Amino acid sequence: MRNASLFLLNFILLAACTGCLRSGRLPRNEGEHTPKSMDNYVAPSSVLEDRYLIPSSDLHDTLLLYKKTPCFGVCPVFTLVVKMDGEVFFTGVKNTLLEGTQSANWNAEQLEVIDRKMRELDIYNAPKSFDNPAVTDLPSMYIGYTKGDNLKTVKCRYQYPNGYKDLSAWLDEQIKTSTWKSLTNNK
């Protein structure tokens, strides 16, 4: 029964993620895409050729995706999306300080820290998943990062490197200290 519940939960999560990809809100993580022109992109305080990130020219594209999924306990469930221009969206589902959808803006320094941390993780060469299906009742953490038109997503569930834990702690701190504006009516 527990495996059936986990299968159903994973199916629902997959269906929801597929809906986001198909709606165009997030870049696809499929195949090799040719990056868009970077003519209109202004790099925040660094030279583009030196950057690990190869950004899309569309500043409304996703730069970073950070998501945590439920467990059978009180694990936080939320999604954080950071756009190329520093606009940030947080959707708290349960066990978070903020519930509903919120927006904020992160500065160039915060975007530079993300770039540095992704460089340290070497995320483009990381495996797609750190997991062990035999271990149950662990929440998953997803980290996605954009390179051109491609969003590389890594699932961190079981025995993942400390660099991902450090990134998660840094992102959690940014979530706590950001000034958020509610985009939904909470009851």
Res. 38: pLDDT tops 90: no
Q: What percent of the chain has pLDDT over 70?
A: 65
pLDDT in tens, 7-19: 444 545 444 444 4
* Domain residue extents for the chain: 45-182
Q: How confident is the model at residue 58 (pLDDT cuts 50, 70, 90)?
A: low
Measured between alpha carbons, how far is 7 from 82 in angstroms, rounded to an integer? 29
Q: How confident is the model at residue 127 (pLDDT cuts 50, 70, 90)?
A: very high
CATH number of 45-182: 3.30.1560
Residue 183 and residue 100 in contact, taking contact as beta carbons nearer than 8 Å: yes
pLDDT at 57: 55
Please, is 81 exposed, middle or buried when counting C-beta atoms within 10 Å of its C-beta (0-12, 13-18, 19+)? buried
pLDDT, mean of residues 161-178: 97
Q: Order of strands, edge to edge, in the sheet holding 62-68?
A: 129-130, 150-156, 141-147, 62-68, 77-83, 87-94, 100-105, 181-182
DSSP the chain: -HHHHHHHHHHHHHHHHHHHHHHTSS---SS--PPPP-TT---SSS-GGG-S----S-TTSEEEEEEE---SSS--EEEEEEETTSEEEEEEEESSSS-EEEEEE--HHHHHHHHHHHHHHTGGGS-SEE--TTS-S---EEEEEEETTEEEEEEE-SS--HHHHHHHHHHHHHHHHS--EE-S---
pLDDT at 185: 66
pLDDT at 56: 54
Q: Per the confidence metrics, is the pTM higher than 0.75?
A: no
Res. 150: pLDDT tops 80: no
